[in-house]
Chain A
């Protein structure tokens, strides 16, 4: 169980992993101290293990920098929930084993207690006493996610078969 941190539409990778910290990309623990700083300067200091990033449309648009989902995950985030995701960011999330769920986030408010049930495709908003459903990942992404990400997948299979 974790708390919801609400963000709006069009949260770009420049807001998640700002270019001004470009020199920290090979020092991810330091970079993670600035996660989502462009959208919410105090986020990194407030987020707790198991919390959720909850956003609107087109989350993660912009750069291909995989560092963006990596530092969201390093901050302890359980999952990112958004109405829609930008393509590269979404693929990066799955590749690094960060659950990214597409669902209606309008009913979730900042601070709501959430629980993620990956198997049944349900987010339980305990504060509201409501269930929000999300569609399963596409089969190929589900396979990669099940194995903990693309690195683990390739290590296990030594090839890319889908």
Chain B
């Protein structure tokens, strides 16, 4: 019998039989979650189905991160609606201030080889720990919450092998932007991306989460990092080492495609307006004046990302013509950044630090762009209108590109200021 991919193994374990890519199966779900933008509709769908209880309330979480704290009464009312349902059902509530769903999931809930569904497209961030984590809509997640099950097609896998040492000024964000530029925004639709190679082995879980997070920007269903020693270390730091499990694809597994990336050839890379696959190296783009720099989000809001920004901003002043907003991904990141002086350094350099959450990325609050504004953001998406204004322009880059840009007021290669 031929070998299996990690996706086939995880899905097989969750439906109690051997599966191959292409099969459609019903699987048990280990964790279901929603956020405040998708949660109210999920709860209404549960009511419409007459299933107003969670199958396992302690493996179900409502996260308030998109409008957090709420900037409008309508959204405050949505929050109250979700709080009330969580109280009645015993579902775990992650209220305003605790930060982004996906990062709380990495810190507290996700286990390697889990199946996780979330009513948020960036649920695939959980792939950083080797969880088969994927985004779905409110109705699908309503069913997963109520019945503890969902249906899925076992995906074919694209194996992405990244090798070589990352050059100075180049980070995991540059790897994933390069990959999406290469395969395009729908190049991996329905597929599982699985990451391997010595570059990947050397990445921290934070750096891996940037790549896993953006898997969906190529259309992929998941972005999987087979759990390894780094995964064990991260879980240990979170006080959850017992959750560790090692599992990977068999050597003779069937991969639909193999994609090789030589990390040593990569350069600081950005996505230009208004699509994520519109990528260019910073040197190709030339100088573009920037009104707002935004560091944070489910893609790059971890402590390591803030440290990269600090390494460039420490002792310097940000450009007079640019506003800089920093939003830690989670309460844990926020606290660590407070304790080790990161926040102080950022504020001294002229940045503004907000409460943990999705911040400006969702176009609701905390940095909505004005007409004609240009933003350089570390977020995963730059679609027209993303940051609350269709007449603005969003470039995506690493925290290093963001910090370098903050110093000069125009899109800048971090190697020029490091």
Which residues of A come within 8 Å of B, CB atoms?
Answer: 10, 12, 14-15, 18-20, 22-27, 38, 57-58, 61-67, 70, 84, 86-88, 91-92, 95-96, 138-140, 149-151, 154-155, 159-162
Alpha-carbon separation in the docked complex, A67 to B216 (Å): 19
A6, chain B: closest CB distance, angstroms: 18
Contact between chains at B74 and A23 (CB < 8 Å): yes
Alpha-carbon separation in the docked complex, A73 to B387 (Å): 25
Could you list 14 A-B pairs, sorted by A, with CB under 8 Å?
A14-B383, A18-B385, A18-B390, A19-B388, A26-B40, A26-B77, A58-B189, A61-B185, A64-B120, A87-B189, A88-B137, A95-B139, A150-B139, A160-B150
Contact between chains at A14 and B384 (CB < 8 Å): yes
Contact between chains at B75 and A23 (CB < 8 Å): yes
Contact between chains at B78 and A160 (CB < 8 Å): no
Residue of B with least CB distance to A159: B147
Residue of B with least CB distance to A89: B137
Q: Interface size class for chain B?
A: 35 or more
Residues of B contacting A161 in the complex (Cβ-Cβ under 8 angstroms) = 26
Contact between chains at A84 and B186 (CB < 8 Å): yes
Residues of B contacting A88 in the complex (Cβ-Cβ under 8 angstroms) = 121, 135-137, 216
Contact between chains at B48 and A91 (CB < 8 Å): no
Query: Given the interface contacts A19-B386, A25-B78, A160-B149, does A62 sit within 8 Å of B137 by beta carbon?
Result: no
Alpha-carbon separation in the docked complex, A66 to B43 (Å): 13
B288 CB within 8 Å of chain A: no
Contact between chains at A140 and B151 (CB < 8 Å): yes
B136, chain A: closest CB distance, angstroms: 6
Residues of A contacting B7 in the complex (Cβ-Cβ under 8 angstroms) = none
The interface bits of chain B over 370-386 (1 if a CB of A lies within 8 angstroms of the residue's CB, else 0) are 00000000000101111
Contact between chains at B186 and A58 (CB < 8 Å): yes
Contact between chains at A22 and B139 (CB < 8 Å): no
B348, chain A: closest CB distance, angstroms: 32
Contact between chains at B386 and A14 (CB < 8 Å): yes
Contact between chains at A20 and B385 (CB < 8 Å): yes
Partner of B384, one of A12, A61, A63, A64: A12
Residues of B contacting A63 in the complex (Cβ-Cβ under 8 angstroms) = 120-121
> Which among A18, A64, A92 has the greatest number of chain B C-beta atoms within 10 A?
A64
B39, chain A: closest CB distance, angstroms: 10
B67 CB within 8 Å of chain A: yes
Which residues of B come within 8 Å of A, CB atoms?
Answer: 24-26, 37-38, 40-41, 45, 48-51, 66-67, 72, 74-75, 77-78, 81, 118-121, 123, 135-140, 143, 146-147, 149-151, 153, 185-186, 189-190, 216, 219, 221, 275, 362-364, 368, 381, 383-390
Contact between chains at A155 and B219 (CB < 8 Å): no
Residues of A contacting B123 in the complex (Cβ-Cβ under 8 angstroms) = 64
B367, chain A: closest CB distance, angstroms: 12
Residues of A contacting B135 in the complex (Cβ-Cβ under 8 angstroms) = 64, 88
Contact between chains at B50 and A155 (CB < 8 Å): yes
Contact between chains at A138 and B24 (CB < 8 Å): yes
Contact between chains at A65 and B38 (CB < 8 Å): yes
Contact between chains at B364 and A14 (CB < 8 Å): no
Alpha-carbon separation in the docked complex, A154 to B142 (Å): 11
B223, chain A: closest CB distance, angstroms: 13
Residue of B with least CB distance to A68: B137
Residues of A contacting B40 in the complex (Cβ-Cβ under 8 angstroms) = 25-26
Residues of A contacting B137 in the complex (Cβ-Cβ under 8 angstroms) = 64-66, 88, 91-92, 95
Alpha-carbon separation in the docked complex, A66 to B136 (Å): 9
Contact between chains at B74 and A64 (CB < 8 Å): no
Partner of A61, one of B140, B186, B190: B186
Contact between chains at A38 and B381 (CB < 8 Å): no
Alpha-carbon separation in the docked complex, A70 to B256 (Å): 34
Residues of B contacting A154 in the complex (Cβ-Cβ under 8 angstroms) = 49, 51, 143, 146-147
Alpha-carbon separation in the docked complex, A140 to B26 (Å): 11
Alpha-carbon separation in the docked complex, A12 to B384 (Å): 8
> Which among B121, B216, B389 has the greatest number of chain A C-beta atoms within 10 A?
B121
A90, chain B: closest CB distance, angstroms: 9
Alpha-carbon separation in the docked complex, A61 to B26 (Å): 25
Alpha-carbon separation in the docked complex, A56 to B184 (Å): 15
Residues of B contacting A38 in the complex (Cβ-Cβ under 8 angstroms) = 384-385, 390
A105, chain B: closest CB distance, angstroms: 15
Alpha-carbon separation in the docked complex, A25 to B67 (Å): 12
Query: Given the interface contacts A58-B186, A162-B26, A162-B151, does A66 sit within 8 Å of B139 by beta carbon?
Result: yes
Contact between chains at B151 and A160 (CB < 8 Å): yes
Contact between chains at A20 and B140 (CB < 8 Å): no
Residues of A contacting B189 in the complex (Cβ-Cβ under 8 angstroms) = 58, 84, 86-87
